[in-house]
Structure 1
C-alpha cells in the first residue's frame, strides 16, 4: 500500500472514530443516562428533554473523553448562569441508582436541584473508581451516606450539604486519602466524628456544621497539618477542646460554636502556634475558666467570638497584642474587673461587644483612640457610668451604641445630637434616665433603632419623631410617658409601607384613640404593643391592612365597640392579646382565617354570642375567653 493510500485510510479511520464518538454512545453509559432521565418527572431547565437519540456526548450537561468516548462528567447544576441572566432550575424526581453504570465518571454535579430526592446509590464506591468531584448539595436526598464512599480513592471534593441525609458518618471516610475538601454541612448526620477522619492528612477544608453529630472532637485532630478551615459548629458535640488543636499550624478558620463543649480554652503556649488563625468562633458552648494571657499569641486574629459561655476573670491586657482584630464578641460570660488600657491599641477594631458580664467602670480613656469603631455594646455590666462618657460622641465612626443597664442617670445628653458619625442604633434602656425625650431626637436622620425603655422619662413623644424616616424599631415601654400616640404612626409615611417594623409603647400613660389614617400607612409593622395604657375608642378597621404583623398586644386599655372583622385579614398573626378592655359584640367569623395564631387572649371583655366553630379558635383554652359572660361554644360551655 502506497504511503498516500495509507494516509487516506488513517484520515478516514480518524473521521469514522470521531463520528462514532459524536453519533454513538457507550451502551452502558446510554442506559445509565436514560435511566437517570426516566426517574425525573419535571425539569424546569429543559435540558433533559433534549436528551434524545444515541449521541449522548452531544447532550447538554454531558462531557465525554476525547479518545475513549466514555462519559466523564455530568454537569447539571441547579444554578444556570450566563452573561444575561442567573436562573435556578429544578428537577423533581429521584436520583436513579443506574447512574453508577457510567463507570468512567470523574465529576457529578447535581448541586442545587432542590427537588431531587432518593438516596445516594449504596454501591457508588464500587462502580465509580475514577470519581474526583461529587456535588449533591442543596437537594432533597435522604438516607445514609453509604460506606462504600470510602472506596473513592481519587475523590478530591465532596459536597453533600443541605439535604436530609441521616445516620452516622461512615468510618470508611478515613480511606479517602486524596480528599482535600469535605463539605457535609446542613444535613442530618448523627453519631460521632470517626477517629479515622484524622487520617485525611491532605484535607484543606473540613465542614460538618449544622448536623446532629455528638461525642467528642477526636484528640488526634491536630494531625491535619495542612488543614486551613475547620467548621464543626451547630452540632451536639461535647467534652473538652483537644489540646492538639494548637498544632494546626495552617488553620485560618476555626468554627466550633453552638455545641456543648466544656472546659478551658487551649490557647497557644507560644507565638509559633496557630500563627495564621484569623477567624475563631467558640460562642454558645459551656466553656469555663479564664481568658488567659496566651490569647495574645493569636496575632493574626481578625474576628473572634467567645460569647455565651461561662468564662470568668478579667479581660487580659495581652488582648492589646491582637492588632489585626476587627471584631470582638465576649458577651454573656462572667468576665469581671476593668477593661485594660491596652484595649486602646486595637486600632482596627470595628465591633466591641461585651454585654452581660460583670465588668466594672470606669471605661479606660484610651478607648477614645478607636477611630474605626462602629459598634459598641457594653450593656448590662457593672459599669455604673452615671453619665455617658463624652469622648464616645467624638469617635468618628461610631454609629451603634448599646449601653443598656449601665447605671446611667439624668437626662439624655445633648452631645449625642452632634456625634461625629450619625447614630443609627441607640439603646439606653434599663437605666435611670429622667426628664423628657428631647426634641432634637428628630435630627438623628439615620436613626433606625431607638430603645429608651425601662427608664423614668416623662412628657409626650416629641412631634419631631415624624422626621425619622428610617426608624424601624421604637421601644419606649415602661416609662412615664403621656399624651397621644398618633404621631408615632406618622413616622416614615412618605414611604409606601412606612418604615416601622417594631413598636412597643406599653406600660405608660398614653390616652386617646388610634386614628384610622395613621395606622393604615404602617403596613410594615410586625410587632405592635400598646398594652397597659389608657387608650380608648374603636379599634380601626385599617388594622386589617397591617399584613406583615405577627404580634398585636392592646391589652389592659379601655378600647370598646366591636372587634373589626378586618382583623382576620392579618394572616401572619401569631399573637393576639386584647384582654382587659371593653370590646363588645360577637367574635368575628373572620378570625377563623388566622391560621398561624399560636397565642390568643380575649378574656375580660364584654363579648357575647357563640365562638365561631373551627380552628384555630377551638384550639385555645377556656382562659382565652374567660370573663366574657355572654360568650358560649367550644371551648366554653355549649350555647343554649
Structure 2
C-alpha cells in the first residue's frame, strides 16, 4: 500500500512539474505578443540592436522582457538608454520612434522602463490607468514625449515609482495624482506643466521624493504639504509659484532637502519652533524669490543643515547670531538682500564652512576677528556692502584654505603690494575692484600662479604692467578697466602663448592710458578669447590680420583710440562676433566684403573714422542703423545715401 502512495506522489510531482515547465516555455499571450510587436514596429531606429533580436513568438526570451513564472504574462519592459553590455561596461543607446497605445495591451505589466532613450515621441496613452492595473514602476524620463498627463493615471493604485522628467509634457497636473497611495518617488521635473500643484498631492503619505522643478507651475504651494510625513526630498524650484511658503512645511519630520528657489514666493520664512522640527534637514534653497522679513533666529535649531541659500530676496534686519549653532554648515549664501548691522562673531564657530557670500547687502564694519577661525573657508564674498575697511585685515588674507576672495567696493585703500605679501599663492579668484587702491601693480602679482580671475578695475592704479604677469598662465578673466595704467598691452597676449597657456576668455583693459601692443592680437594665440575690450585708451598702430584667428570671439571693442589702419579682411573670419565697436579711431580704406560673413553680428559701430567706398550690400551690414556708419565722409550705400555713379 505504501509503495502505491509513493508511486502516485511521484506521478503527481512529474505532472505538476511538467505543467510548470510548460507554462514558462509557452509562447507569449497573444495580447502581449501583439503589443510588443506593435511597439517594435513604431520604433524607427534602435542603435543598440536590442529590438533586432526580437524574433519568434516566445517574447519571454526577448532582451529587455521579463515574464511571470506562474502566469507566463509579460510583467516587465526594461529598455533604458543606459544598460550594461556583456563585458559589464556601461553602454548608452537611443531609440527613435513613437510610444503607441499598443503598450497597454500588456495588461499584466508591473514595470515599464524606457528611460533615457532621447528619441521616443508620442503621448502617454489615455487608457493607461484602466489597462495596466498592476503597474508599479513607470520610467519614461529623458525622451521627447509630450501632451498631458492623463486623468486615468490615478487608477494605477499599485504605482510606486513615476519618473517622467526631461520630456515635453504640458498642461495641468491631474487631481487624480492624489489617488496613488503607494507612490514613493514622483519626478516630473524639466517639462512644461502649468497651473497649480493639486492639494490632493498631500494624500501621498508614502512619498519620499517629490520633484516638480523646472516647469511652468504658477499657483500656491498646497497648505497641507506638511502631511507628507515620509517625504525626504522636495524640489519645486524654477517655476513661477506664488504666495507664502506654507508653515506646515516645518512639520516634515523626515525631510532632508527643500529646494524652493527661483519662484515668486513672498512673505516670511516659516519658523521651526523646536529642534524636533525638520531634524534631518541638510539642504535649504530659498534663493531668488520675493521673501521678506528677518532671517528667523530659530533657523539655529536646524543643526543638521549643511547648505543654506537665502540669496536674492528682500530679507532685512541683522544676520542672526544663532547661525553659529549650525556646526555642520559648509555653504551660506545670504547675498542680494537688505541685511544690515554687522557680521556676528558667532559665525567664527562654523569650522566646516567652505563658502560664505554676504555680498550686496548693507553690512557694516568691523569684521569680527573670530572669522580667523574659519580654517576651511575657501570662498569669501563681502562685496558691495557698507563696509569701510580702509585696509584688508591681515588675518583675512592668511586664511589657510582661501582660494576665492571678493572684496569689491569695500573702500579699501593703500597699495596692492602690502596685500599681496600676505596672500596665498594658491589663490584662484581675486576681486578688489571699485576700491581706492593706488600705486603700481607689483611684480609680486606673478607669484599667484593659480589665479583664474583677476579684477582690479575701478581703482587708481598707475604705471606699466610688470612682466611677471605673464606667469599667470591659468588666467581666464582679467579686468583692469578704469585705472591709470600705461605702456603696452602685449603682455596680455603673451599670457595666451607662454608655457602652453591659452585659457583667457575675458579681457577688459578699457579706460586706461595704454598706447602700444595691439599688433600682438591673435599672434600664436589660442581661440578661447570671447570678450576683448581695449576701448578708451591711446592705442596706436594697425589692427593685425592675425585677429581673424580668434574664432570664438563674441565681443571686440577697440573704440576711442588712435588706431591708424585699414580694416583687415581676415576679421571676417571671426564668425562668432556679436558686437564689433571700432568707432572714434583713424580707420581708412573700404569695409571689406568679408564682413558679410559676420552673420551673428548684432551690434556694429564704425562711426567717426575715415572709411570710404560703398558699404558691402547684404546682411548683416545693411540692417544696422545709419549711426553705425556716420562721420565717415567717404562712405555710401545702404543704409547711407546711395553712391554716385
Secondary structure class of the residue paired with 1:608: strand
Give the Cα–Cα distance (whole angstroms) in 1 for the partners of residues 340 and 568 of structure 2. 53
Of residues 433, 437, 453, the one that matches 2:437 is 433
> Cα distance 1:12–1:205, how it changes in 2: closer, same or farther (>3 A)?
closer
2:336 counterpart of 1:332: yes
Equivalent residue in structure 1 for 2:25, among 8, 15, 19: 19
Which of 68, 74, 77 aligns to 2:77? It is 74
Match of 1:499 among 496, 499, 503: 503
Q: Distance in 2 between matches of 1:432 and 1:10?
A: 92
Deviations 1:23-74 (A, max 9, x none): x222211211121122222222222222222222222222222232211111
Q: 1:154 to 1:632 in 2, by over 3 A?
A: farther
How far 1:284 sits from its partner (Å)? 0.4
Given that 2:109 and 2:134 are in contact with CA atoms closer than 8 Å, whether structure 1 keeps it comes out as: yes
Report the equivalent of 1:65.
Answer: 68
Cα distance change, pair 495–160 in 1 and its aligned pair in 2 (3 A): farther
SS at match of 2:341: strand
Say whether residues 1:136 and 2:140 are aligned partners.
yes
Distance 2:553 2:122 in 1: 38
In structure 2, the CA distance between the partners of 1:536 and 1:84, relative to structure 1 (3 Å rule), is farther
1:29 counterpart = 2:35:
no
**Structure-2 separation of matches of 1:394 and 1:7:** 81
Residue of structure 2 in register with 1:162 after alignment: 166
Extract unaligned runs of 5+ from structure 2: none
SS at match of 2:288: coil
Say if 1:356 and 1:379, in contact at 8 Å, map to a contact too.
yes
Closer, same or farther in 2 for the Cα pair 1:421/1:488, shift >3 Å? Answer: closer
Q: Contact 1:417–1:441 (CA<8 Å) still a contact in 2? A: no
Could you tell me how far apart the structure 2 residues matched to 1:115 and 1:276 are? 39
Deviation at 1:298, TM superposition (A): 1.4
**CA distance 1:216–1:566, change in 2 (3 Å):** same
Q: Is the 8 A contact 1:189 1:212 kept in 2?
A: yes
Q: Is the 8 A contact 2:559 2:582 kept in 1?
A: yes
Contact 1:405 1:430 in 2 (8 A): yes
Q: 1:376 to 1:59 in 2, by over 3 A?
A: same
2:394 equivalent in structure 1: 390
Task: Provide the residue aligned with 1:222 in structure 2.
Answer: 226
Which residues of 2 match residues 343-492 of structure 1 at below 5 A? 343-420=347-424, 422-492=426-496
Deviations 1:69-126 (A, max 9, x none): 2111111111234456443322222211211111111111111111211111111111
Q: Partners in 1 of 2:134 and 2:610 — Cα distance?
A: 76
Q: 2:591 aligns with which of 584, 587, 593?
A: 587
The TM-score, its normalising length taken from structure 1, stands at 0.96
Which residue of the partner structure matches residue 537 of structure 2?
533
Alignment check: 8 A CA contact 1:326 1:349 kept: yes
Compute the displacement of 1:168 (Å): 0.9
Name the count of aligned residue pairs: 637
Instruction: Compare 76-85 and 55-64 and name the one that shifted more.
Output: 76-85
* Residues 314-333 of structure 1 aligned to structure 2 (within 5 Å): 314-333=318-337
Give 1:301 deviation, angstroms.
0.9
Q: Normalising by structure 2, what TM-score?
A: 0.95
In the TM superposition, residue 527 of structure 1 has moved relative to its aligned partner by 1.3
**Hey, what does 1:608 align to over in structure 2?**
612
The answer to whether the 8 Å contact 2:473/2:501 transfers is: no
- Residues 569, 58 of structure 1: alpha-carbon distance in 2 compared, 3 angstrom cutoff: farther
Q: Is it true that 1:309 corresponds to 2:316 in the alignment?
A: no
Segment of structure 1 superposing worse, 266-275 or 196-205:
266-275
Supply the distance in 2 between the matched residues of 1:187 and 1:575 (Cα, whole angstroms): 34
Report what 1:172 is aligned to.
176
SS in 2 for 1:360: coil
